[in-house]
Structure 1
């Protein structure tokens, strides 16, 4: 691993890509080797970072870890590039097909990979707590309530479904879901376990979207030190949890 760690930001024109570029520039332990977006760049270098179109992906300079927040159709090329160059991959691209998930598993034989629907470190811890609670309380009712801003179209959210999978791992069945869309809520997730006379609630509230980019940057630093394999965010960031 080089110091500073060299990053390839894939999906650089999106909201997460822009946050990653901004936050990486504030750190001494990270440098951005290249930024890749779908369209041809208006400038070849922006604030010292080389810019590339997705069609030019194979021409990017050397990097240590790729951070990918793109679209499903852009995922396969960046995974293939990481395998070709032996570089780690941090991905938060949602909507991947079962074939693409199988490709991640296959790639993990040669490179370190982490994929997560949500890179909040708090949500990573919440996921493990939910799994444990579900395993300990299999007979209790379980409900998952998520709230987001009015512009979010999918419901339940990807994070809610991810938490629901943790419930299913713990108890064998998913929770009941409820979704709220109101105002400018960044993201709130409540997992409730209820029985006669008592109720357990596990809650995460996001108030700033930068938490997702910061989590992805921290994951890149951790992943660069790992052997090949497919990692869950929680086990990568909190191995003793």
Structure 2
């Protein structure tokens, strides 16, 4: 396996710092060649022994072929993908909360450079997405489907991108359109639960990295399938694995975790 050159955006943030640490700890597989932070915040990058800066185009000019890994925010992630598309650098995006228009913009950039996009970089969670449809089909329509997610009190978007992905997975297995059957909140006198509805609840508190539970409420029984992340290394390891994989893929479409696992 060849060494994968990576450029980390938001390198002083929670995810960025974890990516930097893990990449530097595994020199046989990864080489940190670039790190970025917002203007005025780059002083903390001085000791990384790589190209540092606050302008992606300037950094990428010195890091040809390196994979950009981005867990920042929706708008900067889309903008960074467009910059990388112009330079031909592959991109891994783990940012959550992207709107349909922003996801479409990522797909447009993916026509020019390989882009990997996953709202959850956990390999275990993405394997779970391949298992859930079989449960839905075998249990049948008598089971009500609900999703609950828990995250730390700093998370900006709700429901989480992973919870939405789980809901879309469940809806797809039932042959339903997620947007038509989703219920992201319940409040007041709303009447009985409609058949086929998929509820998604979001809890926020403390330093929870990410818990997701899918409920199958049936007649006389309940099945709960839970995925818990203990630390951010889970996401960072998945992103680094994705970086090594996407570096070898052709441009032309937006890649997902399912493509890599296949």
TM-aligned CA distance change 1:72 to 1:189, over 3 Å: closer
CA distance in 1 between counterparts of 2:226 and 2:45 reads 44
Cα-to-partner distance string for 1:152-209 (whole Å, 9 max, x where unaligned): 4544322212211111211114421233334433221110113223433221011112
Candidates 234, 240, 258, aligned match of 1:217: 240
Q: Does 1:141 align with 2:165?
A: no
2:256 match: 232
8 A contact 1:7–1:30 mirrored in 2: yes
Q: Alignment RMSD, CA only?
A: 2.3
1:35 is displaced (CA, Å) by 0.4
Q: Give the 5 Å matches for 1:29-68.
A: 29-40=29-40, 41-42=42-43, 45-54=46-55, 56-57=58-59, 59-68=61-70
1:44 is displaced (CA, Å) by 6.7
Q: What is the aligned length?
A: 237
Of 164-173 and 70-79, the range deviating more from structure 2: 70-79
Candidates 104, 117, 120, aligned match of 2:119: 117
CA distance in 1 between counterparts of 2:2 and 2:211 reads 36
Task: Please list every run of 5 or more consecutive structure 1 residues that lacks an aligned counterpart in the other structure.
Answer: none
Of 59-68 and 41-50, the range deviating more from structure 2: 41-50
1:39 is displaced (CA, Å) by 1.9
1:59 is displaced (CA, Å) by 4.1
Larger Rg computed on CA atoms: 2
TM-score of the superposed pair, with normalisation by structure 1: 0.87
Runs of 4 or more consecutive aligned structure 1 residues displaced over 6 Å after TM superposition: none
Task: Please list every run of 5 or more consecutive structure 2 residues that lacks an aligned counterpart in the other structure.
Answer: 183-197
CA distance in 1 between counterparts of 2:207 and 2:3 reads 36
Candidates 190, 199, 208, aligned match of 1:185: 208
8 A contact 1:121–1:215 mirrored in 2: yes
1:99 is displaced (CA, Å) by 2.9
TM-score of the superposed pair, with normalisation by structure 2: 0.80
8 A contact 1:33–1:63 mirrored in 2: no
Considering fraction of residues, name the structure with more strand: 1
2:128 match: 126
